[in-house]
Structure 1
Amino acid sequence: MLKINEIRMDYEKEQIGITHIPEFSWTLESDKRNVRQDTWELEIAEDKAFEKKVCKSGRVNSDASAQIIPENVKLESQKKYFVRVKVTANGEETEWAETAFVTGILDNSQWKAVFVSAEEEADKDNSKGTYVRNEFTVKKPVKEAYVSVTALGLYHFYLNGRKVGNDELTPGWTSYRKHLCFQTYEVTDYLKEGKNAAGAVLAAGWYKGKMGFEGLEKSRNHYGENTALLAQMVIRYVDGTEDLFVTDENWSGADAPVVFAEIYDGEIYDGAKEIKGWAEAGCTAGQWKPVRKLDYDFSVLTGQGSGKVSLMEEVKPKNIFETPQGDLVIDFGQNMSALIQVTAAGKKGDVIRLDCFEVLDSKGNVYLDNLRGAKESLQYIFGEDGTITYRPSFTFMGFRYAKIVSFPGEPSLDNFTANAIHTKMERTGFLETSNPDLNQLAHNILWGLKSNFVDVPTDCPQRDERLGWTGDAEIFCRTACFLENTYSFYRKWLRDVEADQTEEGGVAHVVPDIISGNEGDNWLLEQGSHSAAAWADVAVINPWTMYLTFGDKEILKIQYNSMKNWINFMREYSVDYIWNYKLQFGDWVALDAEEGSYFGATPNELTCTAYFAYSTGLFVKAAEVLGCTEDVKEYTDLYNKVVDKFQRTFFDENGEMTAQTQTAHIVALYFELVPEKYKEKTVQGLLRLLKKENDHLVTGFVGTPYFCHALSQNGHVKEAYDLLLKDDFPSWLYQVKMGATTVWEHWDGLKPDGTMWSADMNSFNHYAYGSIGEWLVRVMAGLEVDEKEPGYKHSVIYPRMGGNLDYVKAEYRSVYGPVRSFWEEKTEETVLHVSIPVNTTATICLDAAKEVKAADGLNFTAADGFMKAEAGSGDYEIHFVR
C-alpha cells in the first residue's frame, strides 16, 4: 500500500491569495520499510477536471518530494487553480492526490481600487472605529468571485452582512511604507443576484495607533494618520463575462460603535451607536458621508496566502473569586494572548468592563504595575435591553486574570470564554516525559510561543511594548520551528527585517522598526537603534534555521542579500576583526550583572566578535548551498580571520578565557571558537564556573540558549541534565514550581515570598528563555537534522538518556511526515522506538550502548561512546543494554 497523505504549498495545506508559484511537497504513507520514491508527476489546471492544464510535468525520475517549483507556469490574478500529484515507489504507484490554491492580484499595476477613508485629517489622534460601505449589483448567475483586501489600520470586511473569512487583526503588522500585505478570499457563496452590499469596519491598529514605550517622542501615527480600506473584487459569471467592483470615492463612511480601539489599551464598544444593516443592501439607517481617497504606494503591496492571525483555542475560566481588597477576578488558569468573549443580559446603558492582567501580588490582589501604561481593558455599553455576546475585534490582551470592574447582575463562569489569538500555525512538535515538571515546562514554552507570535514575534503580549525584538526571535527560532509550522510566519517577518535594514546593512533592534528616526528621552535611542550582536544576527540565523528545518533553499535565496549585507556591516565596523558597535545588549539581564544593571558581565567585544564569527560561518554555508562560489571563498577567508582574532584576543597564553563568565565559555564552545588545544580546559572552566554558582546558571539572553548544548556536546550530558532539572532559583523549573504557565522575562520575576522583580520590565510571558526547548528535542529526545540532507530528509536520531527519566517521547511532523523518537528505561534494558517517514532515511544512535539485544533488522556497529545503524523508512523497536 502506497498513498499520498497530503499535498502542501509553501509548506501549508491551504494557500489563498498567493502571488507566486508555490513550492509543492507531499507526504507518503506505506506499510513497507525502506520505501524511496522513484518518480513523481504534477499537474496544475484551471478546472477540477484537469482539462485546461497550465502545467504538466510528465513523469520525473526523482526522489524529491519537497521543494518542487514548476517552471514557466503562467497564472492569472484572483483565480483558483487545481493541483494533482502521483508518485511511484518500490514498484507501486499511488492514485492522484489533489489540492487547490487561489491567486491574489499578481501584478500591482492591476489594482483599480483606491484607498478610501471615513476619517478626517483631524482624526489623526483619534482611536475610534469607522464604517465604510457601498452597494453593487450582481447581474446574473455567478461562477466564482474573489476579493482582495487590505487596510491602513485594521479591518473586518463584510458582504451582505456576513464577515468575510476567519482572519483577525488583518492586514497585520509590517513595515507599511515598504511592505503591506493584502488578503484574498473566495466570496462566491456570499453573493446573490441583484443588489448586494460590501463594507468594512476599520480601526487604528499598529498603523496609526499608539505603539512603542516610554520616552519615544512619537508614540502614535508611526506610518500614517488616517485609516483606509482597499478592496478589489472580481465576479465571474457563468456565461464567461465578469465584473470588477472596487473601493473608490463612491463609497460612504460613518463612525462605528467601536468608539475606542488600541493595541495596548483595549476596546470600548457602544451598542447604541450600531447602524442596523450597515453592511446589507438597502440600508437607510445612519448618517453617512462621502469617503476621502488616500494616496499610497501600491508597489509595496504583496499577497498573503497563509500565516494570518486567527482565533485559536477556547479557554474556559477556572474560577471567579474575590481578592482581599474586594475585587472580583476571573482566573482563566493560563497566561496567554487572547480576547475574552462575554455573554450577558442587561439594560440600555449598562456597562460591562473587564481589566486584564497577568498575576496576583503577594497578598493575592490585582497586580497591574508591570503593564506600565497599557490598560488592557474591554468595555461594552448596552444600546438596548437584551442579551448580547461581545468580543473585541481590534486589539489583543496578554493575561491570565481579568478584574470585573462592572457587570450587569451576578457574573458566573458561563458568562466568559477566552479565545487565544495568534498567527494560525499548525502544531508540528510534541514532547512528553516521565517528569511532570518537564512536561509543564514544555507546555509553558509552547504557550509562550503562541502568546508572542501574534503576526510578528513580539517580546511580550501585555505591557506597552509588544515589539518585534530581534534577539528574542533569534534565540528562540530553533525551538519555534520544532513546535509549530513557522515557515509562513518567519518568511513574512524576515521580509521586514530586510526592509528595515539600513543602507549599510545594519539590522534594527525591533522589526517592524518604529524606533529608528524617532527622537525622544530614552536610553535606547540615545545610544543606537540597530545592529546589536545576537539581535541583528537574526538576519542570518533565522533563514539558516528555516533551511535546516524545511530543507528550503528558497528562503536562503530570498534572504541572501539581507544576510550578506549584515555580514558586511559587521566587517565594515569591526576594528582588526573585533566587532563592537554603539549600543550592545550583550548577555542581556544575566544574573552576573552589576547591581541595578540589565547588562551581564561578559564583555561586549567578546559576545559581538563571537557572533561575528558564528554568523559569517553560517553565511558561508548558505553560500555553499546556493553555489555562490566567489562568496564562499571571500567569506571563508573572513571567517578564518575573525576566529583567529577571537582566539588570540579572548584566550591568554595559558589557554584560559580572559572573561571568566559562564556565557563567555558557552559561546566559545558552542560556536566552535576554542583552539583545539584549549578545548578541554575551556570545558573544565565552564564546569568550574557552574560549580561556583552552586551548579546554577547566571546567564542571560546570549548564554542561556546554548548552556546545555555546551555541556552535552563536550561529554557532560549528566551536568546538562542536572542544570535542566534544578528547581530552585535560578532555573527553568523554578518558574514551574512557582506556578508559571508561560516562560518569564526574568529568572526571578516572581520571588519565593511573592514579591516582584522591578515593575518597569517584568513580563510573565516572554518566550526567550524557552529556547531550552531545542535542547529537549535535539538532545534529550534525540531528533536532529543532518545539514547535508536537511528538512529531515536524513535524520539523526540520537537521544541522550539521563535525568532519572523513565521515558521521553517526541514527534516532529516534518515536510516528509512524522519523525518519532520514544525511549524508555526498563529494569534491565533500554528500549528505543523510532519512526522514519517514507522517502527518508536516518542514522539511529544508541547512547552508551554495550549490547544490542534486539535490533529489529538493523545492523548496529560500535562508535565512540555509542552504537549506530543506518535505517530506511519504517517503524523500529530496538532493545539494548547501557
Structure 2
Amino acid sequence: MSTPTVGSPRLEYGTDTSPVPAPRVSWITTAAPDGWLQSGAELRLATTDGEQTATVDGGASVLVEWPFTPLTARQRGDLSVRVRGEGGDWSEWSEPVSFSATFLDDGEWTAQFVGLADPAERATPYLLRHEFEVRPGLERATWYATALGVYEAGINGTTVDDQFLKPGWTPYQYRLVHETTDVTGLVNEGSNAIGVSVTGGWYTENFGFRDGARPVYGPQPSFAGQLLLEYADGSSEWIVTGSDWRISDRSPVIRAGIYLGEDYDARRIQDGWDRPGFDASGWADAAVMDAGPVPGPRTGPVVRVTETLSPVEVITTPSGKTILDFGQNLVGRLRIRVSGPAGHEVTLRHAEVLEDGELGIRPLRAARAMDVFTLAGAGVEEYAPTFTFHGFRYAQIDGWPGALDPAAIVAEVIGSDLRRTGWFESSDPMVNRLHENVVWGMRGNFLYLPTDCPQRDERLGWTGDIQVFAPTASFLFDTNGFLASWLQDLALEQEAAGGVPFIVPDVLDSAHTPAAAWGDAATLVPETLYQRFADRGLVATQYPSMKAWVDQLLELAGERHLWEGMFQFGDWVDPDAPPEDPAKAKTDKDLVASAYLFRSSVALADAARLLGYEEDAEFYTDRAEEVRAAWLREYATPAGRLVSDAQTAYALAICFGIVSGDMAQTMGDRLAWLTRRDGYRIGTGFVGTPLVNDALSSTGHVLAATRMLLQTECPSWLYSVSMGATTIWERWDSLLPDGSINPGEMTSFNHYALGAVADWLHRVVAGMAPDEPGYRRIRIAPTPLPGLTHASAAFDSAYGRITSGWERTDEGIVVTATVPPNATAVVVLPDGARHEVGSGQHRWVVASQPEAPTTDLTPDTSLAAIQDDPGAYASLMSAMRDLDPEMAAEFSLRTAWLPTQTLGNSMGFLSPVFRDGVFKALEAAKSQR
C-alpha cells in the first residue's frame, strides 16, 4: 500500500467540543507502509463562515497549534485532515469531525446565583423552575449552567444530559466551571419550562477529621444558569436565572451529602413541576445570592455512569441481614426497582468488605454512606440516588418489602469518563488481577479530581497520591485534560496561600505547611504529562507554579542545601509503621525531603530548558547539584551505605539520579541484599513503592524484583490479591490474615497509590516506554521475569496502537512489537542487542536463559539460596505449615534470610520435635521427586 489512511482528527479537549478559541489538533495515520513517516499534512475547516485550509510541514501530528482564525463562541465546524509521506501521495481526506465551541464571549455570563431566601436548615435541597416562550423559527438552544453545590437540570421534563454531580468540585472561591449543552431538541415552539434540582454536594460538606470537621465554603447551595435561544432571522434571547425564577424546598430529596448519602421521599414528588403549565402558586421567588467567580467552560472529562454490574451473590449474615455482593469493589450507586406501600422505607447501606460475616462499616468513620428511599406506593418504582456516591462491593438491603429479587438491584459504576488507553497481561493470573485492581482503583478515584479514597469521610485530592501514581494513570487512561484541569486548581490554591497544599481543593488549609512528595506534585505531575503526552503548553502554563514550589524549598533549605527539621509525611504507610502512626517509617523523613528537593529542582531545570528559559535552566541545574552534593555528604558513606538502611532510601538515590555509575550499582546491590534479607517482602510506603522495583531491575537485580512482585505473604502486592482484593488497598495489611480489618482509623480498600508498581510492569516487564515525549520515539526493552512465560502491553498513543511483549517458546524468548505510522522505536533485547526500527510489526528471537538449578534443602543450605529459589522456599514453608502454621508464619517473617546463615542454624531455637519433623518432611518430599 503506497497511500496512507488517516483517521478523523481530535481536538485538544475531545472530538466534539472546544472550550478555547484555538484548540490544538491531533490525528492518527491508521494505515501506511512499514517505516512510513509523515512529511506534511493539510487541515480543512468548514464552518458557516466558509472553508479554510492550512498546511502543516513536517511530521507534527500531535497537539498541533490551531492554524485557522480563532473560533467564536458557539461556532460549529467540521474538521478534516489528510497526510502524505516522503515522496508519497496524499491520503484521502479523513472523515470530518464535527465540533462546537463551548466557551462564552466576554461579558456573556449574566446569570445570577439564586437559592432559598430562608432555608429551614443547613444545606437544604430545593427545586427551581422557570417558564419561557419560544417563537417560531428557533434554530438553536444552548444551555449554560453551574452551581455552588451540585445540580441536575431538565427542560420540559427531560434531563439535559447524562452527567452526574455537576459541575463537580473546584476551589469554588477561585474557579467555577459551567456546562455547555445543546438542548435544541428539548425545546418546543410555545411554552417551555426549565426545572433544576439542587443540593449542597461538596460546597456545603463538613471537611476535616474527627471533631475538627467543619464547613469550608458555605451553608447553602446556589445555582446559576442561562439559556440562549437563537432564531433563523438572526435574533437571539437569553433566559437567565434571577429573582423571577420560582423555588421550592419541597424536594423529594430530603437531605443529601457526599458523606451522608441521600434520603429520598417519593411521596414528595410534585408531578409536572419541571413542565410548562404547572401550578407553582405555592412556590416562592428565588433569592439572589452572592455570586461566585465568573465560570469558565469545562476542560476535563464529564462524570457519568460508565458500567452496570449485577449481584453475584446474596448473603444472609449471622445476624440475619441481607447483603448483596457485586464481586467488585466499585464507586457509584445502586439502582433499585421496588413496589410496596406508601411511606415504606428501603435502606441501602454500603461497604467495601465484610467482617465476621457482617457489613464492615468501621473504616467509613463518620461517613454514613447510606441511602434511604421512601416509597410513594405507586406500583413499581425506580430509584437511584442523584446527589451522592459510594465506594462499595457489598450492599446491605434493609426493609425490602416482600422477598428480595436480586435482579431488581444493580450497581452503577460512576466516574470521570476517561478514554482507556493502556493494557497489560502476563502468564500469572495473580499479577493480572493486581493490574486489574489498579485499573479499578483508578476508575473509582478519578471522579472530577484524583481522590485518595471514595468511601469514607475524606475523598480528597491528595497531592502525594497522584504524584506517585501519575505515570501509571497516564498509561491506563487519557488523563491529560483531567490532570491539567486539576493542576490549574493546584496553581490557584498555591498562589493564594503561598505554598502547595496537601490536597486540592485545599479544604484543610494545608498550603502553609510544605511537605515533600506531596507538594512535589506541582513539578512532577506536569513533567509526567509532558513525557507521556508531549504537552509543552501544559508545562508553560504550570511553569510559574513549578518555579514557586522549588523557590520555596530552596529558601527553606538555606545554605546547607537540605530540607530538614520540618513537618513531613515521609514514606507514608511504610509496612512497619504502626496502625496509629502511618508516618513512622524506616526511612528518615529529612532524607526523603531533600531527595525530593533535588528531584524537583531537576524537573524545573528541564522545564526551563524546554521552554527556552536558559538562565533559569542553568540556575536550577546548579541548585540541584548543590542539593545532590549536600545529600550525599549528609546521608551516604563513601562505601555506599545510607544512614537509613532501608529500601526506600536506596530506591530514591538510584531512581532520582542522586547517584550514578559504580555508586548506583553499589546501592542497588545493597537494596537487593535488604530485600532478600527480609524475605522479598515489600518494605516501602507511598514514596518508595513506585521506585523499588525500578531500582532493583535497573541495577541488574531482576530476580529480586521478580521475587518482590510475586511475593504473596504480607506485606506484598499479591497479599491483597490472595485475600480477595479487587482494588488496591491503602495499607499493605488493610485486611489482616485472619480476615479482620486493620485496627487503625485510616484503613481504605480503594487507594491507588501503592498500585504505582503498574508503571514498572508497563515500562520494564512488558518493555514499553516513551523514548521521546509523547511516544513519537518509543523504547522497547522487555524484561523476561523468572517464573513468567509471557507478558505484554498495549497502548493507544497519540500516533496509534503500540504493542510490546515477550514469550518463552521452544525457539527461545520471542520479543514482538508494533510501532504505529509516523513513529520510530529503539529496541533493546534481553540479550543486550540494540535495533532502530520504523513503523510496522516486528519480531525477534533471543536465546533463553538456563533455569537455575533446584536447591536441595538440607541443614547446610543457606537461607539466601532458599529465598532465591521460589520452589525451595515453598517446599520449606509447606513442610512447616503442615506441622505448625503459626510457627511457620513466625519463622518466615522474623528470619533474616542471609547467605551467611544456614537453615539448620536458623532453626536452632525451635523445638527439636518441630525441627526434626520439618527435615523429615523435606527428605520425604525429595525422595518422591
TM-score bucket of the superposed structures, by smaller chain: over 0.9
| Structure 2 Cα separation of the partners of residues 388 and 21 of structure 1 | 47
- Contact 1:504 1:569 survives alignment (8 Å): no
Residues 675 and 780 of structure 1: is their aligned pair in 2 closer, same or farther, counting only changes over 3 Å?
Answer: closer
Partner residue, 1:56:
53
User: 2:828 aligns to what SS in structure 1?
Assistant: strand
Partner residue, 2:862:
none
Partner residue, 2:122:
126
Residues 442 and 390 of structure 1: is their aligned pair in 2 closer, same or farther, counting only changes over 3 Å?
Answer: same
- Contact 1:725 1:803 survives alignment (8 Å): no
Do residues 253 (structure 1) and 251 (structure 2) align? no
| Structure 2 Cα separation of the partners of residues 135 and 285 of structure 1 | 11
Query: Cα distance, 1:81 vs. partner?
Result: 2.8
| Structure 2 Cα separation of the partners of residues 712 and 684 of structure 1 | 11
Do residues 30 (structure 1) and 15 (structure 2) align? no
User: 1:838 aligns to what SS in structure 2?
Assistant: coil
Partner residue, 1:863:
none
| Structure 2 Cα separation of the partners of residues 297 and 127 of structure 1 | 17
Partner residue, 1:862:
none
| Structure 2 Cα separation of the partners of residues 4 and 167 of structure 1 | 32
Query: Cα distance, 1:594 vs. partner?
Result: 6.2
Partner residue, 1:10:
12
Q: Which moved more, 1:628-637 or 1:91-100?
A: 91-100
Specify which of 584, 587, 597 is matched with residue 602 of structure 1: 587
Do residues 868 (structure 1) and 868 (structure 2) align? no
User: 1:574 aligns to what SS in structure 2?
Assistant: helix
Structure 2: which amino acid aligns with 1:876? Answer: H
Specify which of 835, 839, 849 is matched with residue 818 of structure 2: 835
| Structure 2 Cα separation of the partners of residues 656 and 583 of structure 1 | 25
Residues 93 and 675 of structure 1: is their aligned pair in 2 closer, same or farther, counting only changes over 3 Å?
Answer: closer
Do residues 288 (structure 1) and 283 (structure 2) align? yes
Partner residue, 2:792:
809
**TM-score normalised per structure 1:** 0.93
Partner residue, 2:458:
465
Partner residue, 1:696:
681
Do residues 96 (structure 1) and 81 (structure 2) align? no
User: 1:44 aligns to what SS in structure 2?
Assistant: strand
Bigger CA radius of gyration: 2
Specify which of 263, 269, 272 is matched with residue 264 of structure 2: 269
- Contact 1:504 1:565 survives alignment (8 Å): no
Q: Which runs of 5+ in 1 are unaligned?
A: 517-524, 849-865
Partner residue, 2:776:
793
Structure 1: which amino acid aligns with 2:243? Answer: E
Specify which of 152, 159, 168 is matched with residue 156 of structure 1: 152
Q: Which moved more, 1:22-31 or 1:467-476?
A: 22-31
| Structure 2 Cα separation of the partners of residues 670 and 131 of structure 1 | 55
Do residues 844 (structure 1) and 827 (structure 2) align? yes
User: 1:539 aligns to what SS in structure 2?
Assistant: helix
Do residues 329 (structure 1) and 314 (structure 2) align? no
Which residues in structure 2 correspond to 1:430-441 (within 5 Å)? 430-441=423-434
User: 2:80 aligns to what SS in structure 1?
Assistant: strand
Partner residue, 1:852:
none
Give deviations 1:757-787, integer Å, cap 9, x for gaps.
Answer: 124111011111000010000000000111x
User: 1:694 aligns to what SS in structure 2?
Assistant: coil
Q: Which runs of 5+ in 2 are unaligned?
A: 849-929
Residues 438 and 595 of structure 1: is their aligned pair in 2 closer, same or farther, counting only changes over 3 Å?
Answer: closer
CA RMSD of aligned residues (A): 1.7
Residues 205 and 105 of structure 1: is their aligned pair in 2 closer, same or farther, counting only changes over 3 Å?
Answer: same
| Structure 1 Cα separation of the partners of residues 547 and 192 of structure 2 | 51
Structure 2: which amino acid aligns with 1:359? Answer: V
| Structure 2 Cα separation of the partners of residues 201 and 309 of structure 1 | 17
Residues 650 and 820 of structure 1: is their aligned pair in 2 closer, same or farther, counting only changes over 3 Å?
Answer: same
Query: Cα distance, 1:305 vs. partner?
Result: 4.4
- Contact 1:183 1:305 survives alignment (8 Å): no
Which residues in structure 2 correspond to 1:153-552 (within 5 Å)? 153-216=149-212, 219-220=214-215, 222-255=216-249, 256-284=251-279, 287-299=282-294, 301-361=295-355, 363-501=356-494, 505-516=498-509, 530-552=513-535
Structure 1: which amino acid aligns with 2:528? Answer: T
| Structure 1 Cα separation of the partners of residues 138 and 695 of structure 2 | 63
Residues 104 and 454 of structure 1: is their aligned pair in 2 closer, same or farther, counting only changes over 3 Å?
Answer: same
Give deviations 1:375-400, integer Å, cap 9, x for gaps.
Answer: 11111111233111111011000000
| Structure 1 Cα separation of the partners of residues 69 and 474 of structure 2 | 31
Query: Cα distance, 1:677 vs. partner?
Result: 4.6
Partner residue, 2:41:
40
Query: Cα distance, 1:729 vs. partner?
Result: 0.8
Bigger strand fraction: 1
- Contact 2:153 2:195 survives alignment (8 Å): yes
Structure 2: which amino acid aligns with 1:172? Answer: G
Structure 2: which amino acid aligns with 1:342? Answer: I
Partner residue, 1:631:
616
Query: Cα distance, 1:154 vs. partner?
Result: 0.2
Partner residue, 2:70:
74
Give deviations 1:594-640, integer Å, cap 9, x for gaps.
Answer: 68532212111110000000111111111111111111111111111
Structure 2: which amino acid aligns with 1:590? Answer: D
User: 2:471 aligns to what SS in structure 1?
Assistant: helix
- Contact 2:333 2:390 survives alignment (8 Å): yes
Query: Cα distance, 1:684 vs. partner?
Result: 2.0
Specify which of 569, 575, 580 is matched with residue 591 of structure 1: 575
Query: Cα distance, 1:297 vs. partner?
Result: 4.1
Q: Which moved more, 1:536-545 or 1:581-590?
A: 581-590
| Structure 2 Cα separation of the partners of residues 562 and 835 of structure 1 | 38
- Contact 1:120 1:226 survives alignment (8 Å): no
Bigger relative CO (Cα 8 Å, ≥ 6 apart): 1
User: 2:7 aligns to what SS in structure 1?
Assistant: strand
Q: Percentage identity across aligned positions? A: 35
Residues 75 and 14 of structure 1: is their aligned pair in 2 closer, same or farther, counting only changes over 3 Å?
Answer: closer
| Structure 2 Cα separation of the partners of residues 275 and 210 of structure 1 | 30
| Structure 1 Cα separation of the partners of residues 574 and 208 of structure 2 | 24
- Contact 2:13 2:300 survives alignment (8 Å): no
User: 2:244 aligns to what SS in structure 1?
Assistant: coil
User: 2:748 aligns to what SS in structure 1?
Assistant: coil
| Structure 2 Cα separation of the partners of residues 258 and 11 of structure 1 | 34
